[in-house]
Amino acid sequence: MNTQKTNSTIGLGLIAKHWFFGLMLSLTLLLCPELKAQVQATVDTTQMRIGEELEFLIQVQADSTDFVMFPEGKSFGAFEVIRSYAVDRLRDDSNKRRWQLRKKYGLTQFDSGYHRLSKQRVMINDSAYDTPEFDVAVLTIPVDTTQQQIFTIKPSAQVPLQGGPIWPWMILLGLVLLGLAFWFWRRKQVEREALSPPPLPPYQEAVQRLEKVLNQEPNSQGALKDCYSELTDILKTYIHREIDSRALESTSDELLDRLALHQMGSHFSLETQTIDDLGQILRRADLIKFAKAQVTLQQWHLDCAQATTIIDVLKAGIPEPEEEDEQMALDAAAKAALLAKQKRKRRVIFSVVAVIAALATYVFYVGPQEAQDQIFGNAMRDMAQEPWYKSEYGVPAVILESPEILVRKMYQHPDQDSLSARGTAIFEAFTLKDEFYVAVTSTEAIPQQNWDIAMALNRSLVLLEEQGARTLIVKDESFETPEGIKGLRAYGSFYVANASGKVGAEQHQYELLVFDQQGGIQTVMVAYVDDNRFAQGLKERIINSVSLEIPQTQQKPEAP
């Protein structure tokens, strides 16, 4: 009896224990939706036209505190990423802490056939989730040759050269024009000073101006006013040049007071009567000019005669200058010439210092390298900043981005087995002697022709030597492209010889890629002079953009 009761108790305990764990597991699944599948991916179609955009959508259910990282890259499997849209966020109505993240990509493919969109990895915190694979059929567009005329292939177009920023050259041109304008102005001023006659002595100038005034016959009070203005200006100008340098800026009373001081200081031999006569003429002129006083023609003639007498008396009262020795005069002239020369020298130095200061300020503001590039130009910098071109070259095609469109070149070699022989297309941008050089060769496979990748590398190096490369240092290694095409990578340095065979002192770096497919052999070479700034980046950008056309025989179409 006791045994049965014990067994019954144990059985009930086990049932309760299993029921408890089942309940906890169910609650965990309900309360932890992150344990469910969180990543979904779809495509808008499994059939597309060649070059059409394929929309690839990834949806992620995540908590508001989760860190989600979507896949990035230039290609997803066999498809090229042409557009990456912004992430769209939607809140889950059933759980306010849950968010739905939607990331859309625009993909395309330019080769017809069946292509696979491979798995893409989405990271949520430390967990990785892979999207499913999609098989997409890329269809060609049929061409109706009965309605659409077929044209011949157009020749290569010359891409216009694009320079750097123009504003540094505008500033430099402005400075040059300002310098030329100042030089012409200064030259005209010197010529004008040389051609202008020397000024008359003060007494002769006063006498000539008095004779002109005496020849006038004023017939109205307005004319008399103008004549008295001219008469007072003659007297003040003479006194200004010979006796007192402040005569022109003084009033009549101030001028008379200063003449009295000169008389008291025995600077000049001035009579009191002369000062009084001068005061009468000046005061009468002030009354006529400012108070509209009336004056007769007879008084005008008397004042003119009195002014002539005053000038003669003032001239007689001025002490004669001491006679200078001839040698002193020569010394004074030499000193004046030396001062003029020093003045011109100071102007030149000031102009040079101003230009140097402006250039130094500009260099300090933008930096030495930036200033050198903007003033003198930098081909490497221009190539790095200007738009690049993505093109296909040869058959089978080599696809890459380059700063200039590569132009097909023809080379004649006696060795018909060379890569430049018949069946090989060679495309170049720039020349091997330039600071930067890009070359692509594409050799279509010929039946019964035994090629291997080592021979292709050797032929590429021979072609390089034929263009003038000397002292070649070669290092090679195997590599494989994302498309699964195996190849060789060679790199090293060389020097370039000119037409006369003289080898230059500038070292060139290079990187050479050689690919071997059933459809042919392709090579990509980038040679450059390393400037420690832009050359490495240009080379890496070209090398990283290289992709190859896979012949139809190597593709394995699969049904979607």
Would you list the DSSP string of 259-291?
Answer: HHHHHHTTSS---HHHHHHHHHHHHHHHHHHHS
Same-domain pairing of 250 and 297: yes
Residue 6 in domain: no
Same-domain pairing of 436 and 503: yes
Domain extent at residue 52: 34-139
**pLDDT, tens digit only, all 560 positions of the chain:** 444 444 444 444 544 544 554 555 454 444 444 444 488 999 999 999 998 999 999 999 888 888 889 998 888 988 999 999 999 888 877 777 788 899 999 999 999 899 999 999 998 888 889 999 999 999 988 777 677 677 778 788 776 666 556 777 788 788 888 888 888 888 888 777 666 677 788 888 888 888 888 888 788 888 888 888 888 898 888 888 888 888 888 888 888 888 888 878 766 777 888 888 888 888 888 888 888 888 888 888 888 888 888 888 888 877 766 555 566 767 777 888 888 888 888 888 888 888 888 888 878 877 888 888 877 878 888 888 889 999 988 877 888 999 999 998 865 554 544 444 446 788 999 888 888 999 998 877 666 556 677 888 888 888 888 888 888 888 988 887 766 777 889 999 999 998 888 888 889 999 999 987 766 788 899 999 987 788 888 999 998 888 887 655 555 444 44
The 3-state secondary structure of 502-551, one letter per residue? CEEEEEEEEEEEEEEECCEEEEEEEEECCCCCCHHHHHHHHHHCCEECCC
Same-domain pairing of 129 and 241: no
Residue 332 in domain: no
- Element of type H or E holding 462: helix 453-466
Contact 354, 362 (CB under 8 A): no
Same-domain pairing of 355 and 307: no
CATH of the domain at 122: 2.60.40.10
Same-domain pairing of 213 and 354: no
Q: Considering its fold, how many domains does the chain have in total?
A: 4
CA distance linking residue 525 with residue 543, whole number of Å: 9
SS3 248: coil
Same-domain pairing of 234 and 91: no
Same-domain pairing of 239 and 215: yes
Residue 164 in domain: no
Same-domain pairing of 426 and 533: yes
CA distance linking residue 506 with residue 530, whole number of Å: 10
Angle, to 10 degrees, between the axis of helix 221-242 and the axis of helix 202-215?
170
The model's pTM is 0.42
How many CB atoms sit inside 10 A of residue 296's CB?
9
CATH of the domain at 536: 3.40.1000.10
Burial class (CB in 10 A: 0-12, 13-18, 19+), 289: middle
The Cα-based distances of 102 to 8, 79, 481 in angstroms read 56, 20, 31
Q: At a CB cut-off of 8 Å and minimum separation 6, what does 215 contact?
A: none
Same-domain pairing of 302 and 442: no
Residue 169 in domain: no
Same-domain pairing of 283 and 355: no
Measured torsion, CA atoms of residues 260, 263, 265, 266, in degrees rounded to the nearest 10: 170
Same-domain pairing of 550 and 460: yes
Contact 499, 469 (CB under 8 A): no
The whole-angstrom distance between residue 495's C-alpha and the CA centroid of its chain comes to: 32
Residue 154 in domain: no
Angle, to 10 degrees, between the axis of helix 202-215 and the axis of helix 297-317?
170
